[in-house]
Amino acid sequence: STGRFWCFCRLVYMPMSYLYGKKFVGPITPTIMAIREELYSVSYNEIDWNKARDTCAKEDLRYPRSLLQNVIWTCLNKFVEPVLNCWPINKLRDTALKNLMKHIHYEDESTKYIGVCPINK
């Protein structure tokens, strides 16, 4: 339950979970194009996202993932996620997203839309 998370962690986790669950894609604007050009060393359209999913800068990698972890993450990505997008399981996702949005609105209303810090929005 997100209610047991530290407040800052929860306030980041909830909206990011909602966007992921909705598979949100925003409009591609000139600003987005400029950010992509600044962030990536190769053209954004040429990135192999299946390969990039498992890459990490050596400075950021504290412990290499085990073979078991790689198998689990690959199975989740290739098999479990597509199944979760199919009917009737996607109805569960819709219910969870509605519940999550209620939590987000509750957080806003209980803080009179001030929030704990700028992270909220």
Q: How confident is the model at residue 87 (pLDDT cuts 50, 70, 90)?
A: confident
Given a cut of 70, whether residue 121 has pLDDT beyond it is no
Q: Taking residues 63-89, report their average pLDDT.
A: 85
Q: Residue 2: which pLDDT band, with cuts at 50, 70 and 90? A: low
Q: Where are the domains of the chain?
A: 2-50+66-111
51 or 47, greater pLDDT: 47
pLDDT band at 5 (very low <50, low <70, confident <90, very high): low
Evaluate the omega torsion of the peptide bond into residue 88 and state whether it is cis, within 30 degrees of 0: yes
Question: Terminus-to-terminus CA distance in the chain, angstroms?
Answer: 21
The amino acid occupying position 58 is K
For residue 116, give the DSSP letter: S
Kindly report the backbone phi and psi dihedral angles of residue 46, in degrees, each rounded to the nearest multiple of 5, phi listed first: -95, -5
